[in-house]
Amino acid sequence: MATETLPTVIQPRQPKGGFANEPFTDFKAHENARKMKAALELVAGQLGREYDLVIGGHRYKTKGKIRSVNPSRPAQVVGVHQKAEAGQAPQAMEAALGAYKHWSRTPVETRAALLLHAAAIIRERKFEFCAWLTYEVGKNWAEADADVGETIDFLEYYAREALRLAKAKPSIQYPGERNELLYIPLGVGAVIPPWNFPFAIMAGMTAASIVAGNTVILKPSSDSPTIAARFVEVLEEAGMPGGVVNFCPGSGATFGNAIVEHPRTRFIAFTGSKAVGLEIHERAAKTQPGQIWIKRTILEMGGKDSILVCADADLDAAVDGVVASAFGFSGQKCSACSRAIVEAPLYDVFLERLRERVTKLTVGDAAANPNMGPVVNKAAHESMLRYIEIGSKAGRLIAGGHAVETEAGGYFVEPTVFADVAPDAVIAQEEIFGPVLAVIKVRSFEEGLKVANNTEYGLTGAIYSSDREKLDRARHEFHVGNLYLNRKCTGAMVGAHPFGGFNMSGTDSKAGGPDYMLLFTQAKSVAERL
């Protein structure tokens, strides 16, 4: 599709009604379970397809390939993708710059309509996209459904936010002037999403970029390029002009670095590890020849998240919250609880209840919908086993502790819990990103709060207590970007829980909140004398 013309399919329109979160699917209902099984069968017939680079609306093949595999069954290829190299970076940049000339001047109503149309397509095919997530990254049905629902939420929410921002006005009108405040796009951005929310985070960063009028070079994770390719197909079906989103899977060390360092790159939106995020930040900070702006980095870099369980907590609610937060999607969430900090009077009974709950969790092929599927790849599997070995020297093993062997050779690890862990132990400080939980005993609420704040991260946290004074103190002193009182520390909802953290957790981007669109725009004040 040429970048010079806009397709007629994008009809400017206002969203219907206010924003509301997409409802979760009840898979206990027979009809929904039937639809999910049918979607898994449908998608199984499409596995192994080859996908091209998409640059400027044209498709290209490369000599190098990326093979995405099912972590439940590593011999099963989900998708074969072209591998963009550093040499493709100038081509992708030129395509994005060419599209930017027209897209940046496209009415915001038209850009928002693209997101709304894409949301409608995904909603209609929700079970199909759930199946792709199950095969490509090993999400069970509920986790996949939450990922797809959040994708729809981001598209719907950012469309409305872009329309709201377009109506912004200065706080006063100066006498004798007409004053305007315009939020204009930045330019070409690099979007580098993670594999753990390969639909929602990838689509959210991309959607916010383009609805603001920017164009994008999208470099998905090599563990999850297929769902990104399917999303680009949705955008094309919804009427996206060529060059607005350029789909370029590739190595971070080659293509990724080339895009980050390119002098015409205006911003980088990244979600992933602290190490990679800091490297991107450093590379982006170095001014290149011909560069005339300071590159903006929008970084979400992980966490070491704690749930503080006070002696006056509702025990059952606390145990349920810790288990859900620690082992949902096998702990592969930057928001996951990897530390339970428990006051001494409740400690022993909490451990017993926790052990009982964890030993009942099922582990297996994600398509069969167990409580826990695999970890994402062989390297993650090996990393988990190394941390379990380290944990065996740092605490008392009360559940799990082993790999789970299957005939298909999937990357499965038991949900693992270590008790009596010191607050400064390796497994209490480093982001593990897997199903390994450290339980730390503290003598008081004050000590617990101190331990909760003793890492370099500050993403999510939770506290269980029936004491209003403790909850109020946590509100002010528990130093995280997303704090939850008497509920789990995962499951941020678009609109209700703007998401992003402090310290080494990133730039506190607050995705899914009213401030997020500001990161993809620049404010221009215009004053006209009357």
Contact, 521 vs 267, CB < 8 A?
Answer: no
| CA atoms within 13 A of residue 358's CA, in its CB half-sphere | 29
Q: Which two tokens stand for residue 389?
A: 């070995």
Q: Got the DSSP string for 11-38?
A: -----SSS--PPPPP-TTSHHHHHHHHH
Rounded CA separation 224/69 (Å): 9
**In 3D, which of 342, 295, 378 has the Cα closest to residue 69?**
378
**In 3D, which of 346, 344, 195, 186 has the Cα closest to residue 272?**
195
Rounded CA separation 41/130 (Å): 12
Q: Which two tokens stand for residue 145?
A: 């459904």
Contact, 213 vs 112, CB < 8 A?
Answer: no
Rounded CA separation 523/180 (Å): 10
**In 3D, which of 271, 200, 170 has the Cα closest to residue 507?**
271
Contact, 132 vs 367, CB < 8 A?
Answer: no
Residue tagged active-site, from 236, 300, 414, 431: 300
Strand-strand pairing, 265-271 and 296-300? parallel
> Exposed, middle or buried: residue 155 (CB in 10 Å: 0-12, 13-18, 19+)?
buried
407 classed as catalytic: no
- Report CA torsion sign: 117, 118, 121, 124: negative
C-alpha angle 407-411-417 in degrees, rounded to nearest 5: 120
Residue tagged active-site, from 130, 248, 334, 489: 334
300 classed as catalytic: yes
C-alpha angle 97-231-272 in degrees, rounded to nearest 5: 80
Contact, 78 vs 135, CB < 8 A?
Answer: yes
Contacts 24+ apart (CB under 8 A), 42-48: 42/128, 42/131, 43/128, 43/131, 43/132, 43/135, 44/131, 44/135, 47/76, 47/77, 47/78, 47/79, 47/135, 48/77, 48/78, 48/79, 48/80
Rounded CA separation 279/287 (Å): 15
Q: Which residues pair with 442 in a beta bridge?
A: 343
Which residues carry out catalysis? 300, 334
